[in-house]
């Protein structure tokens, strides 16, 4: 099966989107169907040939929603409501003019106003009737003409007018939310300037190849990841990290796509294609995040399958039983049943949940927090234990060599060279720091039998001598307790490097804030007890375990997860290759996005783009606020609907009030959801 993604246009309500998604899931040719109403995007996998997939899918959808149009490119997704507006004005004017007429002419003008006002809803109802699909369009036609035949013509006009006005406002509110979210993620440049043969050509970022020289003018966005060729640059990375502070980058340093050039024109050498660059990865994560649904979204989806039949049965019971219970006419019970059906439309409930999560994910992205699924955003508010890796997570992970010690006749330069030759094959953050201390030319040096033990060290053979580089356990040396990397030659320690790591500026504040929230904080590290205790006390970590291998970290984390209570989640925060198993195992894996390894980022559920631990507190705040808005919307929607359902049964409400309980409540929940984007 092949994956497809289409933009969808002319869809008016979330419940309609849900009907399309549900129907497509029943078709054996489709799998992993997701129709995101917030983004107007349809994704699925299918075995249908590429040539027929668009037309075949279009036919299936139009059986349910005749006006819906699929397109490969994002265009025509915002319907023009100018025609609807003039149609409403014309219908109301004709109805108003009918009062100046009498007899047959009066009735003809009233009918004309009905047909004009019900044109859109009526056309949908006519198209759906042969397909045995019952939705709010058919119900509105029945309700309005029902009101006409029981001599409540003005009320019928009022119902359709309020409904149409409400739908226009509702869709404008939804589109406003979509635009707000889109503006949060408006980080991709449209064009790029490429230097070819001394000439600058403008092309799309997709055309950039690795090795191309890219010219970025003042105020422009960097289109792809690369290395700075110019002497230096001032970059605004707020769209990536959520922080407004400018960063100065020197020649030869990495420049991330999405950054904005805030100084003179600069040149970079592309090291990645656009599809693999940071900016593309961020947009891909956010684009697919809301496709992974929360329990609440799945619950709403499951309920919707039985909701409509249940409501229709209840309406029929109201029509049949009310005359015998309240001694009213069937005409009146029919009127109350119609009001009941209009009130019961689930649009407000169906749309508020996914739209709120999508808004929360957009807000988190603006703050430099990439969330790979709306269920992870929901889970974040239930985090009660957080396990931190030390190196590169609590500390900077950038080690400084403070001393090189030789324990035999070798010079310090020779000790460093032997360590350098082995560390060039290691993926550990310490190895990167050692290699950056001094660049050596060792192209002619031949070494064999390279073996790395994760979290411990690396060994190799050179000129029939076996060298081991790593911690004191790895080289079997126990006479020095300093933070060192040791070198042994044929099982004899011949020297070591003393290293110093610094704690990140915001680590202490971030962990203290987590402690104040009642979250239990842990630190797992391979360091000795003295070093681990010193770091833990400085930053305020409550529990720490030292001298741990990657396997021990995994086992300990597994035990911690098993002892957690239901609906209380364990998060693991790390940055290195060795942290990937823990990130994948934990309930919520949080990776450092700036200096974190690719494997760690891929294994995680959430990525912090600027490696700041305080983003975790912000993540929890956004999660709780999003959930609060969802609860407000659901409580409000259910409360209003229950009240109006009871009133409609008792005959204490009119049909225009039922329309408010449907469209009005939907509009108010959408407007409330917009508050998330303003947080």
User: Which member of 12, 135, 389, 611 is catalytic?
Assistant: 389
In Å, how far from its chain's centre is CA 92? 44
Q: What are phi and psi of 148, to 5 degrees?
A: -65, -45
- CA dihedral over 437, 440, 443, 449, signed as positive or negative: negative
Which residue, 629, 624, 614, is CA-closest to 378? 624
611 is annotated as an active-site residue: no
Q: How far is Cα 7 from Cα 107, in angstroms, rounded to an integer?
A: 44
Q: Within 13 Å, how many C-alpha atoms sit on residue 626's CB side?
A: 29
Which residue, 626, 586, 578, 630, is CA-closest to 606? 586
Q: How far is Cα 148 from Cα 652, in angstroms, rounded to an integer?
A: 20
CB 188 within 8 A of CB 284: no
Question: Regarding beta strands 254-255 and 226-228, do their DSSP bridges make them parallel or antiparallel, or are they unpaired?
Answer: antiparallel
Instruction: Read off the DSSP letter of residue 220.
Output: P
Question: Regarding beta strands 492-500 and 520-524, do their DSSP bridges make them parallel or antiparallel, or are they unpaired?
Answer: unpaired
Query: Which residues, including other chains, have CB under 8 Å from residue 516's CB and lie 6 or more apart?
Result: none
Q: Within 13 Å, how many C-alpha atoms sit on residue 82's CB side?
A: 2
Q: Within 13 Å, how many C-alpha atoms sit on residue 381's CB side?
A: 13
Longest CA span, the chain: 119
Which residue, 316, 409, 384, 378, is CA-closest to 586? 384
Q: How far is Cα 297 from Cα 350, in angstroms, rounded to an integer?
A: 8
Q: How far is Cα 390 from Cα 397, in angstroms, rounded to an integer?
A: 8
Which residue, 374, 305, 298, is CA-closest to 346? 305
**282-287 CB contacts, 8 Å cutoff, 24+ apart:** 282/187, 282/240, 282/258, 282/365, 282/370, 282/609, 283/185, 283/187, 283/188, 285/370, 285/371, 285/372, 285/607, 286/185, 286/361, 286/362, 286/365, 286/370, 287/39, 287/41
Q: How far is Cα 363 from Cα 134, in angstroms, rounded to an integer?
A: 37
Which residue, 37, 66, 121, is CA-closest to 300? 37
CB 481 within 8 A of CB 489: no
First-last CA distance in the chain = 41
Q: Which residues in 356-504 belong to E strands, given as ranges?
A: 369-371, 383-389, 400-406, 448-453, 457-462, 465-470, 484-489, 492-500
Residue given tokens 């009062």 in the structure block? 99
Q: How far is Cα 330 from Cα 327, in angstroms, rounded to an integer?
A: 9
Active site residues: 389
């Amino acid at each position: 099966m092949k994956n497809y993604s289409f933009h969808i246009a002319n869809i008016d309500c979330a419940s309609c989107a849900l009907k399309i998604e549900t129907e497509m899931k029943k078709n054996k040719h489709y799998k992993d169907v997701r129709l995101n109403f917030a983004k107007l995007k349809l994704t699925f996998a299918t075995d249908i040939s590429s040539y027929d997939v668009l037309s075949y899918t279009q036919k299936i959808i139009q059986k349910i929603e005749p006006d819906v149009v699929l397109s490969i490119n994002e265009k025509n997704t915002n319907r023009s409501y100018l025609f609807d507006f003039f149609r409403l004005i014309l219908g109301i004017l004709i109805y108003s003019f009918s009062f100046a007429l009498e007899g047959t002419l009066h009735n003809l003008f009233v009918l004309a106003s009905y047909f004009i006002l019900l044109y859109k809803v009526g056309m949908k109802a006519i198209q759906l009737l042969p397909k045995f699909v019952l939705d709010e369009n058919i119900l509105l036609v029945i309700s309005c003409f029902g009101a006409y035949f029981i001599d409540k013509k003005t009320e019928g006009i009022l119902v359709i007018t309020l409904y149409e006005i409400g739908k226009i406002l509702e869709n404008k509110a939804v589109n406003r939310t979509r635009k707000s979210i889109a503006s949060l993620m408006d980080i991709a440049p449209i064009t790029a300037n490429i230097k070819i043969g001394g000439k600058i050509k403008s092309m799309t970022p997709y055309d950039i190849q690795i090795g191309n020289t890219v010219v970025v003018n003042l105020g422009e966005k960097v289109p792809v990841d690369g290395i700075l060729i110019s002497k230096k640059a001032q970059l605004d990375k707020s769209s990536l990290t959520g922080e407004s502070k400018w960063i100065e980058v020197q020649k030869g340093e990495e420049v991330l796509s999405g950054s904005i050039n805030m100084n003179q024109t600069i040149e970079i050498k592309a090291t990645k294609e656009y599809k693999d660059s940071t900016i593309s990865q961020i947009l891909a994560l956010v684009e697919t995040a809301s496709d992974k649904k929360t329990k609440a979204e799945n619950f709403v989806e499951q309920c919707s399958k039985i909701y409509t039949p249940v409501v229709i049965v209840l309406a029929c019971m109201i029509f049949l039983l009310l005359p015998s219970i309240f001694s009213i006419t069937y005409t009146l019970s029919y009127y109350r049943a119609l009001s009941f059906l209009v009130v019961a439309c689930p649009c407000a409930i169906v749309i508020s949940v996914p739209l709120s999560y999508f808004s929360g994910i957009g807000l988190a992205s603006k703050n430099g927090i990439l969330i790979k699924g709306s269920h992870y955003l929901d889970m974040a508010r239930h985090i009660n234990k957080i396990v931190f890796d030390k190196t590169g997570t609590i500390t900077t992970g950038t080690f400084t060599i403070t001393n090189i010690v030789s324990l035999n006749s070798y010079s310090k330069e020779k000790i460093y060279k032997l360590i350098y030759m082995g560390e060039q094959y290691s993926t550990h953050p310490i190895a990167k720091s050692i290699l950056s201390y001094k660049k050596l030319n060792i192209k002619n040096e031949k070494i064999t039998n390279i073996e790395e033990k994760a979290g411990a060290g690396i060994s190799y053979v050179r000129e029939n001598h076996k060298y081991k580089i790593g911690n004191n356990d790895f080289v079997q040396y126990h006479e020095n307790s300093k933070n060192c990397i040791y070198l042994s030659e044929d099982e004899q320690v011949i020297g070591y490097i003393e290293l110093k790591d610094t704690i990140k500026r915001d680590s202490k504040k971030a962990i203290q804030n987590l402690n104040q929230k009642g979250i239990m904080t842990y630190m797992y590290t391979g360091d000795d007890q003295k070093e681990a205790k010193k770091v833990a006390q400085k930053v305020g970590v409550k529990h720490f375990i030292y001298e741990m291998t990657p396997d021990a970290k995994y086992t300990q984390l597994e035990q911690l997860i098993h002892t957690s209570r239901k609906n209380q989640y364990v998060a693991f925060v790390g940055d290195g290759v060795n942290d990937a198993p823990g990130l994948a195992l934990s309930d919520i894996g949080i990776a450092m996005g700036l200096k974190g390894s690719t494997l760690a980022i891929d294994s995680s559920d959430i990525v912090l783009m600027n490696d700041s631990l305080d983003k975790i507190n912000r993540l929890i705040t956004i999660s709780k606020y999003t959930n609060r808005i969802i609860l407000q919307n659901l409580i409000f929607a259910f409360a209003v609907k229950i009240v109006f359902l009871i009133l409609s049964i008792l005959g204490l409400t009119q049909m225009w009030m039922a329309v408010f309980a449907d469209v009005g409540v939907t509009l108010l929940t959408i407007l409330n959801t917009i508050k998330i984007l303003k947080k």
